[in-house]
Structure 1
Amino acid sequence: MWRQFLKHLKIYALLIKLNAMRQLEYRVNIVLGLLVEIGYLGVKLLYAYIIHDTGVHISGFAPQSLYLFIGTFILMTVFFVAMLQFNIMAFDRQVIEGEFDLILTKPVSAQFLATLKYVETWMVIPNVIVGLGLVGYGWYASGIAFDLLHVGLYLLYAVLGIITMYCVFTLPLLLAFKLHNISAFHSLIWALWDFNNLPHRIFPSPIQIIGTVFFPIFLITNFSPLAIMGQLSLVEMIWGVLAPLLLFLLTCRGWRRAISSYESGGG
């Protein structure tokens, strides 16, 4: 199992390199994309500054601590856009046109190749810089110790958040094997994603429970900041580890069952 993980990790590194080289063939698109991203980030920074400037505590969180949440949201958006967005939007087309048949012939996991083969590289660079800057400022301004424990907690729940993100947004792709056209799902992606922009505790309790337990989208960007702020209960910390692992097992099992009953869509 460990060998398989290392094998797919090396393949993913190669995919990143190949996608970066392919995207360099269209430098004008990269420049325009970077300008759009910078504009988007400018709006985010203005939004964060306005919240901070009000000095209002939102659901018990000091204004400066919100930079942690917004910065983490931007960093997770990097993984969402780079790893998943284009793969999700292209998936039903692969099934309908029979391209998925070719994926099944490759000597690697079909799930891995179908959901991760497209990687966005250059346009996420501004998000990485701004996201790290906001997290760093929020960390410092909140007076949180920058030690091994807190850094480890942040990174642990960030990795678990990426796993949760992968599962939450790829599990519904299994519908494409039956429905073929899941374009309606695409329109919900960004709407769902924006729920992670601020602490989930600003929402009413029923929404917090749904978004943490039944549809754990709040685990993606909320648990890293909450962990280093000491705002997670022991039950929440355990669930923050257990839920991503259960979701990943469910995702892998669902893919195996879907593929076992898959019929070519290219005929």
Structure 2
Amino acid sequence: MINLLKRYLVLIFMFARNSLAGQLEYRVNFIMGVLVEAGFLVVKLTYVVLIYKTGVNINGMSPDYMLVFIGTYTIMTGIYMSFYTNFWNLTNYIREGTLDLYLTKPVSGLFLVTFRYIDFATPFPAITAGFIMLGIGWHRCGFSVNFTNIGIFTGCLTVGTVLTYSLFLIPRLLGFWTMSTTGIAQISDAIWDFNNMPMKIYNKIIQEIGCFIFPIFLITNVPGLIIGGCISKTLLIWYFMAPVITLSICVIMWRAGIKRYSSASS
């Protein structure tokens, strides 16, 4: 099991290195991608300025504490965008029958399809800005900067990445059963923006749905709740269960889809 994990980590490193080399061959496009995404990010961050100007506490959360959540959301957005292109291409592979090329490789087809290309230009501004906001909010809230808190937050980013990957891959896997998943995928992507503010600004019903039915709030809210020491045991347990469940659903859907997949040669 450990050797298998090492093998996949090596493959991800190779994919990342090759993707970066390929993107840097067209440096103007790479730089433009960074600048365009930075422009979008500046527009999106106008509400952060608004929060600080008003200085309003929402459900007991100060603007500084909310900045921790917003920073986490921005970081996770960058991580999500790094492999988003693979999700977008998956439907085309299924529809055109070009998935054959990936299925013949001596490695998991699902892994290969979803990690083959890693974007660096688009995520860079978001991840950078996210850590800056997180650092400012962390400092102003008075949270300790120690190995324990840093380790906890790093672990939360890992759990959140797995949950993001599996949760938003599910709509794309429906491509095995439908002609197009564009509508479903667009809805799921739009739901992502619900995370740009702490879940406590929403009513209880929306919070329950976003935590336990479509657990998107877990991705960016739990790290701040853990560091702030205000998370319930139930939510903490579910936080670690949700990625396992959603990832298992992805594997089941992938295997079922492969059985009914019609290749380009069939």
Q: TM-score range by the shorter chain?
A: over 0.9
**How much has 1:264 moved relative to structure 2?**
1.7
Q: Which residue of 1 aligns with 2:35?
A: 35
Query: 5+ unaligned residues in a row in structure 1: which ranges?
Result: none
Moved more, 191-200 or 144-153: 144-153
Partner AA of 2:216 in structure 1: I
**How much has 1:152 moved relative to structure 2?**
2.4
CA distance in 1 between partners of 2:224 and 2:168 (Å)? 22
CA displacement 1:220-247 (0-9 Å, x = unmatched): 1111111101121111111111111222
Q: Which residue of 1 aligns with 2:211?
A: 212
Q: Which residue of 1 aligns with 2:61?
A: 61
CA distance in 1 between partners of 2:225 and 2:151 (Å)? 13
Q: Identify if the C-alpha distance between structure 1 residues 265 and 172 changes in structure 2 by more than 3 Å, giving closer, same or farther.
A: farther
Q: Which residue of 2 aligns with 1:49?
A: 49
Partner AA of 2:252 in structure 1: R
Moved more, 240-249 or 192-201: 240-249
- Contact 1:52–1:63, Cα closer than 8 Å, also in 2: yes
**Equivalent residue of 2:225, what SS?**
helix
CA distance in 1 between partners of 2:29 and 2:59 (Å)? 41
- Contact 2:172–2:185, Cα closer than 8 Å, also in 1: no
**How much has 1:266 moved relative to structure 2?**
5.8
- Contact 2:70–2:133, Cα closer than 8 Å, also in 1: yes
Q: Which residue of 2 aligns with 1:178?
A: 177
- Contact 2:76–2:127, Cα closer than 8 Å, also in 1: no
Q: Which residue of 1 aligns with 2:160?
A: 161
Partner AA of 2:260 in structure 1: S
CA displacement 1:164-218 (0-9 Å, x = unmatched): 1011111122211111321223322431111111111111111111110011111
CA distance in 1 between partners of 2:94 and 2:167 (Å)? 20
TM alignment of 1:215-254, pairs within 5 A:
215-254=214-253
Partner AA of 2:91 in structure 1: D
Q: Which residue of 2 aligns with 1:73?
A: 73
- Contact 2:103–2:109, Cα closer than 8 Å, also in 1: yes
Q: Which residue of 2 aligns with 1:2?
A: 2
TM-score by length of 1: 0.94
Runs of 4+ in 1 over 6 A off after TM superposition: none
Q: Identify if the C-alpha distance between structure 1 residues 102 and 202 changes in structure 2 by more than 3 Å, giving closer, same or farther.
A: same
CA distance in 2 between partners of 1:159 and 1:146 (Å)? 19
- Contact 2:91–2:175, Cα closer than 8 Å, also in 1: yes
CA distance in 1 between partners of 2:165 and 2:127 (Å)? 19
Query: 5+ unaligned residues in a row in structure 2: which ranges?
Result: none
**How much has 1:260 moved relative to structure 2?**
2.8
* Percent identical: 35
CA distance in 2 between partners of 1:90 and 1:265 (Å)? 16
- Contact 2:94–2:261, Cα closer than 8 Å, also in 1: no
**How much has 1:265 moved relative to structure 2?**
4.9
Q: Identify if the C-alpha distance between structure 1 residues 250 and 88 changes in structure 2 by more than 3 Å, giving closer, same or farther.
A: same
Alignment RMSD (CA, Å):
1.6
CA distance in 2 between partners of 1:185 and 1:23 (Å)? 29
Q: Which residue of 2 aligns with 1:147?
A: 146
CA distance in 2 between partners of 1:255 and 1:2 (Å)? 23
**Equivalent residue of 2:143, what SS?**
coil
CA distance in 1 between partners of 2:265 and 2:218 (Å)? 38
Partner AA of 2:173 in structure 1: L
Q: Which residue of 2 aligns with 1:132?
A: 131
